[in-house]
Structure 1
């Protein structure tokens, strides 16, 4: 056996846990998600290059701060992407960006692709926006990645057969030309008008100073990367994404990551199979008293009186003033209000990540008031955050059973079904959610016409 092969033999029998721990600390990579073999393979290759015979020596090199950790990262992060891989999300962004330009003709749309890998995703977004009629001067895409090799490939913008998958390849004829200088027979070079819409840069989203002074983005793509982090790192990553997102912006994640975005203050954008999410606006369901709790108050309670009409008094014989009649709240009303506070407290705890306390408050509320759609929905969010899809699905169904037009429960259950491959079921729930929004508006219009 040659001397060059000896490190490989030794590396197979030496634990790589300390090296995996360094990778996790630096970039969040969880050995359980990528598999031990991938990291071992990268370690063996680097040891072979450096001529090292055992992992103890290699660990010393990693800790010396000479850039070896970045060399290992380049090997363990394997790009797996292609053009229009997430077609529904990309087309959704094109439509939303065009709508924003229509509403605000002088606006500039900012989009972040993180991680951008070898460029297929941000370039796909650029093609979609150009074809949707968004002026080139009014949108900009930033592609950020932790791998220098991937960024170099993205900036070169020459792609082989593996980057073009599926049957819908008409974009290839419009935006690519054959690269006669390339090494591959099927290499194609991307058109310059698409390339100039994207700027690439190196970055580690878990670094303390990551894009601290960056202006917020209208749309953020962070798809199929959170699944490689453990729970603690996932929460940190989501906080970074929220920090970079504009107030009215949208985040797009992968199907298996949708549960991480399902929080009381975040909702689905309602576009089937896009797995896009946004912050709830003031006045949405999260900011209103839960409807089932309001319904629990006896109907003898009078509504809030309307302001009196300003009518000039008739000058006639004085009449003794009559005290306004005020119906007294039933004795149970204060207790109901206190129980309503339990759900408000539960939402606040869930927003802070205190899932156990939030779940306990939900249970108290259910015990005090009885079956409640919003409480079941919040419990579903908590289960989703814990990545317990089975429990989340059951809880969302309970909420929908009690309140068939519960839009958030419909959308979140749709996201779960889509993640599990039930596209037809997800689409039906999305349609129900859309009807849940349109029906009250139609009823309100009819009531105004009668008035």
Structure 2
């Protein structure tokens, strides 16, 4: 086993909690770099890391494994188009959008396609894709993708915006030209210093890999980069983190969209009572006799309110109202029975509250009902790694890879 100092280094430079990807993943990355550098052992490699910043980046490249696809969680893209629509007609400056991390380009290119199909001219928006991995950025700029990048139920966008190249698809230049890629580490003190504020920031499924302190630092960076009335799109399990750091839900179901929380208005001072000498005397109401008793009337009890539907459960989770969401989810399951969707929401609620055992139990129930539920597989694998069960986490990861590899 590789010494923990390598995991500590990755934590310092990129905020990565090694337990969440598996210590064995860090071990494999270090071993691979020792072989690539033709060094005798990890002591020699550690010495190289202290002297060569470029090798630190090479280690980061080896650890980072992109996991993304086009129009992943499509409600986020729909929310962006809906909330930004007024700016298309009012002559506002071009829309500024940040995708962080942009990975191999699927997310920022999905943003571009969504806007173009909503009628936005290419000159009316600017998209920056930023990632810590130069390797991922090289693939993003190349713009050629295999079938694993196309997992959405509706693949009509692929016919409209891609050209087949042997067994892959090349993105058309009209979309590629809408995105500007750059390498960057959001935890660097000077990250995007001096950049104009962004109207929309996509930062999804990144915070879950940070510990609590690093999550706070990361959300502070997002707040600095976001325009005062801007929109932040987060991941399913990150709503609690974002809500706890000064953001409020945009109230769009399943989009996990947030805005800066408004500062509470200062409380108004209570009016001073009038001096006693100026107070008007109170008039006494006339005394009346009690009315004769009426015959008792049987009052029927009102029907209980309907159990909350899945849409309202997503809204509660999206807004960070976790305790209310948990109660509503229990009511829904008692009334309608356990479904894969309801149990998935229950798992995400527990995940956001830090209840790892409850979340894992819910995800396992989802997989009992729907063995191919990709989100449940991914979230359960992440939890198992966090708990140190890397063997079962690896099995789930391979299962997800086999499953997504079947997508045509």
Q: TM-score, normalised by structure 1?
A: 0.61
CA distance in 2, matches of 1:208, 1:56: 29
Residue 318 of structure 1 aligns with which residue? none
**Equivalences, count:** 303
Residue 226 of structure 2 aligns with which residue? 245
| Residue 53 of structure 1, CA deviation | 2.6
| Residue 135 of structure 1, CA deviation | 2.1
CA distance in 1, matches of 2:123, 2:16: 37
SS of 2:113 mapped into structure 1: helix
The yes-or-no answer on 1:111 pairing with 2:97 is: yes
Where does structure 1 lack aligned partners over 5 or more consecutive residues?
Answer: 1-12, 180-184, 295-300, 306-322, 328-383, 399-411, 424-451
Deviation sequence 1:290-341 (CA, Å, 0-9, x none): 9xxx9xxxxxx99999xxxxxxxxxxxxxxxxx86489xxxxxxxxxxxxxx
- Sort the Cα spacing of 1:418 and 1:172 in 2 relative to 1 into closer, same or farther, 3 A: farther
| Residue 192 of structure 1, CA deviation | 1.1
- Sort the Cα spacing of 1:204 and 1:265 in 2 relative to 1 into closer, same or farther, 3 A: closer
- Sort the Cα spacing of 1:171 and 1:60 in 2 relative to 1 into closer, same or farther, 3 A: same
- Sort the Cα spacing of 1:64 and 1:253 in 2 relative to 1 into closer, same or farther, 3 A: same
Question: Of residues 146, 164, 167 in structure 2, which corresponds to 1:178?
Answer: 164
The yes-or-no answer on 1:27 pairing with 2:14 is: yes
CA distance in 1, matches of 2:136, 2:245: 36
- Sort the Cα spacing of 1:118 and 1:16 in 2 relative to 1 into closer, same or farther, 3 A: same
- Bigger RCO (CA 8 Å, 6+ sep): 2
Structure 1 outlier segments of 4+, above 4 Å: 301-305, 394-398, 412-415, 417-423
CA distance in 2, matches of 1:38, 1:109: 39
Residue 379 of structure 1 aligns with which residue? none
Residue 227 of structure 1 aligns with which residue? 208
Residue 346 of structure 1 aligns with which residue? none
- Sort the Cα spacing of 1:261 and 1:151 in 2 relative to 1 into closer, same or farther, 3 A: same
Question: Of residues 256, 265, 271 in structure 2, which corresponds to 1:287?
Answer: 265
| Residue 177 of structure 1, CA deviation | 0.5
The yes-or-no answer on 1:263 pairing with 2:263 is: no
SS of 1:105 mapped into structure 2: coil
CA distance in 1, matches of 2:346, 2:250: 14
CA distance in 1, matches of 2:147, 2:234: 26
Q: Does the CA contact (< 8 Å) of 2:203 and 2:233 recur in 1?
A: yes
| Residue 16 of structure 1, CA deviation | 2.7
CA distance in 2, matches of 1:16, 1:214: 39
The yes-or-no answer on 1:165 pairing with 2:151 is: yes
Residue 349 of structure 2 aligns with which residue? 416
SS of 1:287 mapped into structure 2: coil
Residue 79 of structure 1 aligns with which residue? 66
Question: Of residues 209, 213, 235 in structure 1, which corresponds to 2:190?
Answer: 209
| Residue 136 of structure 1, CA deviation | 1.5
SS of 2:49 mapped into structure 1: helix
Q: Does the CA contact (< 8 Å) of 1:249 and 1:278 recur in 2?
A: yes
CA distance in 2, matches of 1:96, 1:304: 47
Q: TM-score, normalised by structure 2?
A: 0.67
- Sort the Cα spacing of 1:414 and 1:214 in 2 relative to 1 into closer, same or farther, 3 A: farther
Question: Of residues 115, 120, 125 in structure 2, which corresponds to 1:139?
Answer: 125
Aligned-residue Cα RMSD (Å) equals 3.5
CA distance in 1, matches of 2:39, 2:192: 37
Q: Does the CA contact (< 8 Å) of 1:275 and 1:415 recur in 2?
A: no
Residue 47 of structure 1 aligns with which residue? 34
Residue 428 of structure 1 aligns with which residue? none
| Residue 418 of structure 1, CA deviation | 10
Deviation sequence 1:198-234 (CA, Å, 0-9, x none): 1000100000110110000011011011111111111
- Sort the Cα spacing of 1:326 and 1:41 in 2 relative to 1 into closer, same or farther, 3 A: farther
CA distance in 1, matches of 2:198, 2:279: 54
- Sort the Cα spacing of 1:52 and 1:167 in 2 relative to 1 into closer, same or farther, 3 A: same
> Map of 1:2-401 to 2, 5 A cutoff?
13=1, 15-102=2-89, 104-179=90-165, 185-263=166-244, 265-281=246-262, 286-287=264-265, 325=279, 392-393=322-323
| Residue 413 of structure 1, CA deviation | 10
| Residue 63 of structure 1, CA deviation | 0.8
| Residue 96 of structure 1, CA deviation | 1.6
